[in-house]
Amino acid sequence: MPGGHGCLFLSAKVEIRRASLDTCAGATGTVVVIDVLRAFSTAAYAFAAGASEILLVSTVDEALSLRAQRLGSLAMGEVGGLKPERFDYGNSPYEISVQDFAGQPLIQRTSAGTQGVVRSSRADTLLASSFVCARATADFIGRHAPEIVTFVITGLGPEGRGDEDAACADYIEALLRGESLDIQKFVGRVRNSTDGRALAAPDLPEMLAFDLEYCLMVDRFDFAMQVHRRNGVPIMRPVHP
Asked if the structure places residue 138 within a domain, the reply is yes
168 pLDDT exceeds 80?
Answer: yes
What's the pTM? Answer: 0.94
Asked if the structure places residue 2 within a domain, the reply is no
9 pLDDT exceeds 80?
Answer: no
From 63-77, 78-92, 146-160, 201-215, the region with the lowest mean pLDDT: 201-215
- DSSP states along the chain: -GGG--PPPPPTTPEEEEE-TTTGGG--SEEEEE-TTTHHHHHHHHHHTT--EEEEESSHHHHHHHHHHSTT-EEEE-BTTB--TT-SB-S-HHHHHT---TT-EEEEE-SSHHHHHHH-TT-SEEEEE-GGGHHHHHHHHHHH--SEEEEEETT--STTTTHHHHHHHHHHHHHHHT----HHHHHHHHHHSHHHHHHT-TTS-HHHHHHHHHHT-TT--S-EEEEEEETTEEEEEEE--
Asked if the structure places residue 207 within a domain, the reply is yes
Residues 191-235: pLDDT tens digits? 999 999 999 988 878 778 899 999 999 999 999 999 999 999 999
Asked if the structure places residue 3 within a domain, the reply is no
What residues make up the domain containing 101? 10-239
Angstrom distance (rounded) from CA 158 to CA 94: 28
91 pLDDT exceeds 50?
Answer: yes
Angstrom distance (rounded) from CA 61 to CA 43: 20
Provide the β-strand partners of residue 74: 106
Asked if the structure places residue 67 within a domain, the reply is yes
Confidence of residue 5 (pLDDT cuts 50, 70, 90): very low
Q: Which CATH number goes with the domain that contains 166?
A: 3.90.1560.10
How many domains does one find in the chain? 1
Asked if the structure places residue 86 within a domain, the reply is yes
Asked if the structure places residue 164 within a domain, the reply is yes
% of the chain exceeding 70 in pLDDT: 95
Residues 95-133: pLDDT tens digits? 999 999 999 999 999 999 999 999 999 999 999 999 999
Could you tell me which of 29, 88, 32 has the C-alpha nearest to residue 63? 88
